Structure 1
């Protein structure tokens, strides 16, 4: 699987350099997402701009990424989805499950907004104690 990782303080951008997100790539993507999470990455932005085709195993890898990040109070955002991938997500009724934004820049903004909301929530919880 060809990809690049851009680690920032509040988020990491994982960009897939593959045309197909299918059974030949999905296990490696799952593994990379799990590794990033294990390294302490809390917020992941997945740039799918080069992916033209996704199948059910690719969708499964995306769900794994979404689940592990959400379980650790992070945010998993997918950006720049192809029409085909977006159609598959909608057919699978996962458009309400995934955070999907049109650009990486919007995804970065969303991470910062999410972080601010988490801090405010944490402050409110502290005030209640």
Structure 2
């Protein structure tokens, strides 16, 4: 599976460079997400622009990512293609995961999440 990660101060950015996220690559994607979380990454922004197709195992991998980062920080998908978005909507995962249009908006979501979680810890 082709997957790149760039680390920044407040979050990491991942890019899935794969047209299909299906049962052949989903286990590796899940383990990438879990490894990043174990390495101390609190928030992950995922560029889905290259992904043209996702099956149920691919959606499951995205849910693992969501679960791995949402408690500590944020898990944000952006640049989701229309076809993939349709599958995400049909499965109602758009109600569970944070999906935005662009990278800047994704970074804003991470910042807002940090502020909200910081305030929650102080109360």
> In which range does the TM-score fall when normalised by the shorter chain?
over 0.9
Residue in structure 2 matched with residue 94 of structure 1 by the alignment: 93
Q: CA–CA distance in 2 between the matches of 1:120 and 1:60?
A: 31
Q: Give the gaps of 5 or more residues in structure 2.
A: none
Secondary structure, aligned partner of 1:49? coil
Secondary structure, aligned partner of 1:95? helix
Q: CA–CA distance in 2 between the matches of 1:32 and 1:53?
A: 19
Q: Give the gaps of 5 or more residues in structure 1.
A: none
Q: CA–CA distance in 1 between the matches of 2:117 and 2:38?
A: 21
Secondary structure, aligned partner of 1:46? strand
Does the alignment pair 1:45 with 2:45? yes
Q: CA–CA distance in 2 between the matches of 1:112 and 1:70?
A: 13
Residue in structure 1 matched with residue 116 of structure 2 by the alignment: 117
Shift of 1:68: 1.5
TM-score if structure 1 supplies the norm length? Answer: 0.91
Residue in structure 1 matched with residue 67 of structure 2 by the alignment: 67
1:23-44 per-residue CA deviation (whole Å, 9 max, x = no partner) reads 1111111010000000000101
TM-score if structure 2 supplies the norm length? Answer: 0.95
